[in-house]
Amino acid sequence: MLPNIKSQFMLDPKITHLNHGSFGATPKPIFDSLVDWQKKLEMNPTKHLGYDIYDFLKESRKSLANYIHCDKDDIAFMPNPSTALNTVIKSLDIKKDDEILSSNHEYGTLDRTWNYISKKTGSKYIQVPVVLPLESENDFIETFLKHITSKTKIIFLSQITSSTGLIFPIKKICEIAKQKNIISIIDGAHVPGHINLNIKKLNPDIYTGACHKWMCSPKGTAFLYVTKKLQNIIKPLVISWGYDSDLPSHSQFLDYLQWQGTNDISSYLTIPDTINFLEKNNWKSISQKCRELNIWARDEVNKLLKIESISDDKFLGQMSSIPIKSSDILEDQIEFYLKYNIQIPFFKWHEKEFLRISIQAYNTKEDIFKLLEALDDKYN
């Protein structure tokens, strides 16, 4: 798409990369920032990790908060959304018969975490079926809200789903949750750097996002946002020095979560450079072009395989999932890599198989032509 941008990524040029959604990819200037921070640490670990780290983290939180529109003290860095949501789910006071209302499009790790907690507490994890094709925001909202009962304690939804790659209209759901005194928890793993994220306007109680996916940060960079009113209920997964701190700061939330034992958290400190890179390269316009390429790619694949879209275009960003025949998803994914040099994920979602296209700044129509050739060879 943009050759000068493509050359900044370190991806193997022999491979067609159509899987940005799973693990992201980091451009050289952002990777260089990671190495600079790691060198800084190694030059003086005592100073860096012993005391400077809190000021460095503050600067990084400030930069991220400005980018996602919230207070810098309402976010803590986390290695990934799984850790962020496990921290939250294990902190909540969930009782027998409480209901957690969700959808049948959630990420498998989180289904498993909610099932674990439901078994432990006697609560119910309810997954509202969001039927495909998804065509109307109102239908989605109305169907979902019909399942709220007097026992609904939590609403848990992805803003962009993993297997089906759909953007859910969560703003209205967060508003209604607030009116009904239900805790809203949003899994925004795929959101930052992909679609606009304005936490203030969205106003969820709890939100997590990965920076290493669509913001292109180094791996292991994510955040947990918690509204001030709920921050005191959050407990760390790892009890460390910030718990019963000898030197408490103004925020228990930050004391509990910022230090989880010795680790290289240089990736968190690259956020100002990451955002600088995105802004310098006019990433909003790149995202828009990627979305257009994604919709074109989905239409071409659907035409080739004679299948229907799983949603209206308005639910799509830079990913699209396409139903596909596959008797062994992992075998097919590896075949696409070994035979056609294409990295594209195959998923199973409720007994149906899908492949998911991701389009990032380094992708071009050429990549989609290669995918179409491979699909034609395998399926036609």
Ligand X SMILES: Cc1ncc(COP(=O)(O)O)c(C=O)c1O
Which residues of the shown chain bind ligand X in the complex (CB under 6 A)?
22, 80-82, 107, 109, 158, 162, 187, 189-190, 210
Cβ pair 274, 33 in contact under 8 A: yes
In terms of CB distance, is 220 or 340 closer to ligand X?
A: 220
User: Which of 285, 231, 279 lies closest to 255, judged by CA?
Assistant: 231
Query: Shortest distance, CB of residue 267 to ligand X, whole angstroms?
Result: 12
| Class of residue 281 by CB neighbours under 10 A (exposed 0-12, middle 13-18, buried 19+) | middle
Query: Shortest distance, CB of residue 40 to ligand X, whole angstroms?
Result: 25
In terms of CB distance, is 83 or 91 closer to ligand X?
A: 83
In terms of CB distance, is 8 or 113 closer to ligand X?
A: 113
Query: Shortest distance, CB of residue 202 to ligand X, whole angstroms?
Result: 16
| Class of residue 272 by CB neighbours under 10 A (exposed 0-12, middle 13-18, buried 19+) | middle
In terms of CB distance, is 16 or 158 closer to ligand X?
A: 158
In terms of CB distance, is 208 or 258 closer to ligand X?
A: 208
Q: Is residue 165 left, alpha or beta, with left meaning phi > 0 and alpha meaning psi from -120 to 50?
A: left
User: Which of 73, 68, 72, 121 lies closest to 95, judged by CA?
Assistant: 121
Query: Shortest distance, CB of residue 190 to ligand X, whole angstroms?
Result: 6
In terms of CB distance, is 187 or 205 closer to ligand X?
A: 187
Dist CA 363 CA 329 (whole Å): 24
User: Which residues, at least 6 apart from 122, have a Cβ–Cβ distance to it below 8 Å?
Assistant: 95, 96, 97
Under DSSP, the state recorded for 77 is E
In terms of CB distance, is 50 or 108 closer to ligand X?
A: 108
Cβ pair 267, 291 in contact under 8 A: no
Name the pairing type of β-strands 183-188 and 152-158: parallel
